[in-house]
């Protein structure tokens, strides 16, 4: 059972305080977008063996949504960070690179 530190209130919350909210860093496509763009936004999800970026909510806590970077295989957590950003912070990317040289995930590497 995971523990993730909520970057907003600092609590090292165990999974029962959290709610998983799917993949992080999705770009919304609305009216005017092509069918392909919209399909990608709505349905296409990563399912990596290894580095992954997720949205979580500290549901039984401060209520804030945040992002987490972790490995789906070892469950190592590289870091949690604000949901109000378009890409993971450099220090977290560096931490991942140290463990998984040459990693990539969607547009990030």
Partner 1 sequence: MSTRLATGGRLLNKGKQLHFTFNGKRFTGFEGDTLASALLANDQMMMGRSFKYHRPRGVVASGAEEPNALMNMGEGGKFEPNQRATTTELFDGLTCASQNHWPSLEFDVGAVNNYMTRFFPAGFYYKTFMFPKFAWKHVFEPIVRQSAGLGKVPKDRDVDTYEHFYAYVDVVVIGGGVAGLEAAHKAGKSGAKVLLMEQTPHWGGRAAVDGGEVNGAPVADYIATLLAELDAMDNVTIRTRMMGAGVYDHGYVLGYERVNDHTPLSTGPRHRLWRIRTKQIVTATGAIERPLSFAGNDIPGVMLASAVRDYAVDYGVSSGDRTVVVTNNDDAYRTAIALKNAGLEVPVILDARASGGGALADEARALGIRVENGKAIAKVKGGKRVTGVAICAQAGEGAVLEEIKCDAVAMSGGWSPVVHLWSHCGGKLTWDETQSHFRPDPERAPTNQDGVGFVVTAGVASGPLTLDGVLADAANAGAKAAEAAGFKAADTAAPTVTATAEAAMEPVWMMPQGAGPALRIKSWLDYQNDVKVSDVRLAAQEGYESVEHTKRYTTLGMATDQGKLSNINGLATLAGQLNAPIPAVGTTTFRPPYTPISFGAIAGEARDAVFQPLRRTTIHQYHEDQKAFFEPVGQWRRPYCFPQAGESHADAVKREINQTRASVGLLDASTLGKIIVKGPDAGKFLDMLYTNMMSTLKPGKCRYGLMCSENGFLSDDGVVARIDEDTFLCHTTTGGADRIHGWMEDWLQCEWWDWKVYTANVTEQYAQVAVVGPNARKVIEKLGGDMDVSKEGLAFMEWKDGKIGEFDARAYRISFSGELSYEIAVPASQGRAFWDALMEAGAEFNIMPYGTEALHVMRAEKGFIMIGDETDGTIIPQDLGLNWAISKKKEDFLGKRAQQRAHMTDPNRWKLVGLKTVDGSVIPDGSYAIAEGTNANGQRNTQGRVTSTYYSPTLDCGIAMGLVHNGPDRMGEVIEFNKVDGTTVKAEICDPVFYDKDGEKQNV
Partner 2 sequence: MSNAVSALNAASFEGFAKVSETGLRGMVTLRGDLSGKGVKQAVKAATGADVPDARRVTRGTSGDVAWMSPDELLIICDYQAANDVVAALTGKLSGEHALAVNVSDARAVFRIEGNAAREVLAKVAPVDLSADAFQAGDFRRSRIAQVAAAFWLNDDGSFELVCFRSVAQYVFDVLKVSAENGGEVGFL
Considering only residues 48 to 87 of the shown chain, the ones binding partner 1 according to CB under 8 A are 55, 57, 59, 63-65, 71, 74-77, 83-84
Given partner 1, partner 2, none, residue 62, with its beta carbon under 5 to 8 Å by kind, binds partner 2
Structure tokens belonging to residue 47 = 């399912």
* x/- letters, 52..81, toward partner 2 (CB under 8 A): -------xxxxxx-----------------
Q: Which residues, at least 6 apart from 44, have a Cβ–Cβ distance to it below 8 Å?
A: none
Q: Decide: residue 70, CB within 10 A, 0-12 exposed, 13-18 middle, 19+ buried.
A: buried
101, interface contact from partner 2, partner 1, none, CB < 5-8 Å by kind: none
| Distance between CA atoms of residues 56 and 106, nearest Å | 19
Terminal-residue alpha carbon distance, the chain: 28
Q: Decide: is 87 part of the binding site for partner 2 (CB under 8 A).
A: no
Residues that bind partner 1 (CB under 8 A): 1-3, 14, 21, 28-33, 35, 38, 41-42, 55, 57, 59, 63-65, 71, 74-77, 83-84, 99
């Amino acid at each position: 059972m995971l523990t993730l530190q909520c970057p907003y209130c600092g609590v090292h919350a165990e999974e029962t305080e959290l709610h998983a909210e799917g993949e992080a860093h999705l770009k919304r496509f609305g009216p005017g977008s092509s069918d392909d763009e919209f399909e990608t936004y709505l349905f296409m999800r990563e399912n990596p063996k290894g580095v992954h970026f997720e949205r979580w909510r500290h549901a039984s806590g401060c209520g804030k949504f945040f992002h987490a970077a972790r490995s789906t295989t070892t469950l190592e957590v590289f870091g949690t960070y604000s949901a109000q950003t378009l890409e993971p912070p450099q220090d977290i990317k560096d931490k991942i690179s140290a463990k998984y040289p040459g990693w990539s995930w969607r547009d990030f590497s």
